[in-house]
């Protein structure tokens, strides 16, 4: 049994790094030094202890992993703690916890997911919305969406967005991919239906625009992925290292971000931070996140024209780079971590006053 204080759900440390795991790691490493009192990092059996973990944080490793760790072991051992779950799913049975919900896509785009996965997420979110001491999300758009589908007050959801400064100081490394000496646009995403990647690649291909795609089609157990056709002008990179992705941001003509639904859209501000122009759909959270540092279009069919327009307008590209960098510079992980730490302190104070 763990003593009181704060418990941190470390399930994300056993998973491949996507935007969700990036968020959890960047927030946690900056939040932990801001907290008072004892902190325990609860790890599943197959997770590694992060190198950045403060020395005064207690590590407790479970004999279980995955869902069994999170839904059975974790709520029991952390039952006297304020549990913080930053990586999406959270234990339904935890008595006091802060949960993070990145978006409402299981409700808005249920066909994107397998029946089992979608049903589980919708049930989990509904229960957590009633039981959690606090809900975190990453954008005002996402807060409004979650409030609508979960029937809770938007004002009760705390917005602590993604930062962009994790791309600073990364040494770029050229990926071992073909055609990188030619002009290309960069696409970051999967073939999940709401990501709209297949339609975007087809539109780019029709105008002779070469693309490099970072990301992979979702697993059969989770996503009902788009059928991958053959795009002659697309190079599929799969998963790359941070250093390789940074190289692509630095050398791409622009980032094309065609998603129809995002809680945030981290690649947008990553590209902006690196001075890569952004062309995206004016959908969901993207206008909020991109600010005036992107070319936003109404339809997928408009993406190629926006890309070609930038190609022939150097002053516009330079203007976008400046606006993008200014926008991304306002998105700092330390600010969001401070927001989360304040929520933790507020809940601790409430518990002491009882």
pLDDT in tens, 18-57: 999 999 999 999 999 999 999 999 999 999 999 999 999 9
pTM of the model: 0.94
Report DSSP letters for 255-275, one per residue.
EEE--S--SS-HHHHHHHHTT
Shared-domain flag, residues 262 and 272: yes
Shared-domain flag, residues 171 and 30: no
For 61-68, the CB contacts below 8 A with 24+ separation are 65/14, 66/11, 66/14
Q: Which domain holds residue 36?
A: 6-163+332-352
pLDDT of residue 296: 98
Shared-domain flag, residues 178 and 313: yes
How many other β-carbons are positioned within 10 Å of the β-carbon of residue 155? Answer: 8
User: How many domains does one find in the chain?
Assistant: 2
pLDDT of residue 228: 52
Residues of the chain scoring pLDDT < 50: 1-2, 217-227
pLDDT of residue 225: 46
pLDDT of residue 1: 40
Q: Which residues contact residue 55 at a Cβ distance below 8 angstroms, ignoring those fewer than 6 apart?
A: none
Residue 253: inside a domain? yes
- For 268, the token pair is 């947008």
Shared-domain flag, residues 20 and 55: yes
Shared-domain flag, residues 78 and 196: no
Shared-domain flag, residues 208 and 150: no
Shared-domain flag, residues 241 and 336: no
């Amino acid at each position: 049994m763990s003593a009181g204080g704060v418990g941190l759900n470390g399930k994300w440390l056993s998973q491949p790094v996507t935007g969700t795991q990036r968020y959890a790691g960047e927030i946690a490493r900056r939040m932990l030094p801001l907290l008072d009192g004892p902190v325990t990092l609860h790890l599943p059996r197959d997770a590694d202890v992060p190198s950045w973990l403060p020395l005064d944080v207690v590590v407790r490793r479970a004999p279980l992993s995955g869902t069994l760790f999170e839904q059975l072991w974790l709520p029991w051992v952390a039952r006297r703690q304020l549990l913080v779950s930053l990586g999406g799913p959270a234990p339904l049975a935890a008595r006091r916890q802060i949960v993070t919900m990145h978006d409402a896509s299981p409700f808005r785009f249920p066909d994107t997911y397998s029946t089992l996965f979608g049903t589980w997420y919708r049930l989990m979110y509904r229960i957590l919305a009633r039981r959690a001491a606090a809900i975190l999300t990453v954008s005002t758009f996402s807060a409004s969406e979650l409030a609508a589908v979960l029937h809770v007050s938007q004002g009760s959801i705390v917005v602590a967005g993604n930062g962009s400064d994790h791309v600073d100081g990364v040494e770029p490394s050229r990926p071992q991919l073909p055609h990188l000496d030619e002009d290309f646009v960069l696409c970051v995403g999967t073939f999940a239906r709401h990501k709209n990647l297949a339609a975007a690649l087809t539109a780019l291909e029709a105008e002779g625009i070469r693309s490099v795609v970072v990301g992979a089609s979702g697993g059969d157990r989770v996503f009902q992925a788009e059928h991958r056709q053959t795009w002659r002008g697309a190079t599929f990179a799969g998963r790359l290292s941070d250093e390789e992705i940074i190289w692509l941001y630095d050398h791409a003509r622009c980032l094309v971000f065609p998603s129809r639904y995002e809680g945030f859209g981290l690649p947008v501000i990553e590209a902006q931070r690196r001075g890569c122009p952004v062309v995206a759909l004016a959908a969901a959270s993207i206008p909020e996140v991109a600010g005036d540092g992107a070319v936003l279009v109404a339809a997928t069919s408009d993406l190629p024209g926006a890309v070609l327009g930038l190609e022939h307008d150097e002053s516009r590209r330079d203007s976008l780079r400046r606006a993008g960098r200014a926008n991304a510079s306002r998105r700092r992980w330390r600010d969001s971590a401070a927001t989360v730490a304040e929520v933790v302190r507020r809940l601790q104070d409430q518990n002491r006053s009882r």
